[in-house]
Chains A and B, each alone.
Chain A
């Protein structure tokens, strides 16, 4: 028999035996927990306020034709953000195209196929990969990945968007794996048993039953992986070559690229507070903020929408 508090965790809180009365000693702790919860909301609002206050004047001070131009060379007053925007988007999309099959495949293997002992080895290793500092990955990228790609694909230089995308894929994959593996684990065993009992093969069960049942969780994993990739700074700054080239086609991924995050990181140190350059860098920060806001909103929309549907199907 489980203790009361454990069973209460799995029950709706309005059941009478779960209503725990607040004692005077608990009250300060309660307040503290509440305060830390609300403070994170407060911090997000403050960050947004600060970003808008520092960044929005850029629209006025660096004139718009310059801001939406195609040349980024801030020390001469060229503040065209398109090359940076496209640079970030191209690198992130390529990274996520690598990370999705890799991440979902790994999570399917770990949760559905692998024997227990392999699972026990793989999971901690992937968690270590998630905790690897990106500067270490960047160093590996410069020393190993860039020369290999240059020789293998006969590129002019290995410091290209592709090298950055591959590193970002390695950074995003652990996020995708751990979240989609959690989602796969929540699929009730009865689904699989029913499928197997009806004569489906293991692959048919996995592909047609388990994965679709965990769809919302897997999509959330993908969205959070995108969020992880677009916000990454250090690794891309080290390996993408940072040339603010305006992309002209899909082959831009094989050329050097400059991302928004790398631009902020490498230039924020030199700007005088309040100068147009400073404001434009914060403006780029606003764009990044909007990106990650969109990604998070879509991720939570996807997961709650999926929840309602599964609730519907269970009822």
Chain B
């Protein structure tokens, strides 16, 4: 009985070997490589699109992409459970220290740029705000829309949870206006929502709400605010163009972190991400490419 299966098994082996040889794959290893990629919820859709395209180019590489927030991704890199961490903020010095204590040296890669859109309900008549006004709204100093030229309505502030890189970036660049000595924090009345979609859906249904989200997440159900650096400066709407010419003030780099001793497969993938093909996907998803396509 047992021996009757053997030819079948051998045939299967030959078939599989044949397939692998046919794919014309330059790597000497026939076994598939597994890359774990985790972190920022801002980047997760982009990372998924990249992973899907890359797997059609390199069938031997298997990518697993999960979100959870930049802090979560970097913590996983520090703990050695992922190969690449996605982050929408730069790694903090104490995180580098923690990684080095675990024998991991993080390497930074800027993989795209992102504008953070400040969004309100389409019913809200307010169209433009200065950075200072947005900062004072989130500090809790401005509490009614009429103070910034809107209707007499209370302002409901929405933010991502503290494990989000977008939250940290917004705190530093907008709430504190880039002043690193400033220790102001978000007003305790700020609602901390667990997802980007949660912010969009609350802003879309609540005329009192103000929120912020990566440009790639903004839908037609909400209205983007034109932002200026100061009172007499121009008010600019976020777009790929206004990020590239640096006229839109709330834009940031998006990162991937790998470890110094990464495998060749990880290095190849990171190199491909900066190629024209991969950066085209960046633009397709509403982010800003880091290298213009040749």
Contacts and interface: CB of A to CB of B under 8 A. Distances in A.
A271 B201 CA distance: 28
B168 A269 contact: no
Nearest to B190: A243
Interface residues of B, number: 34
B156 A266 contact: no
Contacts of B72: 269-270
Interface stretch (A68-76, A98-106, A193-201, A221-229): A68-76
A83 interface: yes
Interface in B82-99: 95, 98
B161 A267 contact: yes
Contact of A159 (B186, B188, B202): B202
A76 B94 CA distance: 13
A156 interface: yes
Interface stretch (A12-20, A45-53, A234-242, A294-302): A234-242
Most B Cβ at <10 Å: residue of A76, A78, A158, A270 = A270
A147 interface: yes
Contact of B75 (A142, A156, A271): A271
Interface in B200-248: 201-202, 205-206, 208-209
Interface stretch (B9-17, B191-199, B279-287): B191-199
B80 interface: no
Contacts of B155: 156
Interface string A283-294: 000000000000
B185 A267 contact: no
B187 to A, nearest CB: 9
A124 to B, nearest CB: 33
Contact of B161 (A157, A238, A242, A256): A242
Contacts of B122: none
Contacts of B106: none
Nearest to B76: A269
Given A147-B205, A157-B156, A272-B78, A242 B192 contact: yes
27 contacts: A73-B185, A74-B162, A75-B162, A75-B168, A76-B185, A142-B198, A146-B202, A147-B205, A147-B206, A156-B154, A157-B206, A241-B191, A241-B192, A242-B161, A242-B193, A243-B190, A244-B192, A246-B188, A255-B189, A256-B189, A266-B194, A269-B68, A269-B75, A270-B72, A270-B163, A272-B95, A273-B79
Interface of B: 68-69, 71-72, 75, 78-79, 95, 98, 153-156, 161-163, 168, 183, 185-186, 188-194, 198, 201-202, 205-206, 208-209
Interface of A: 71-76, 78, 83, 142-143, 146-147, 150, 156-159, 237-238, 241-246, 255-256, 258, 266-267, 269-273
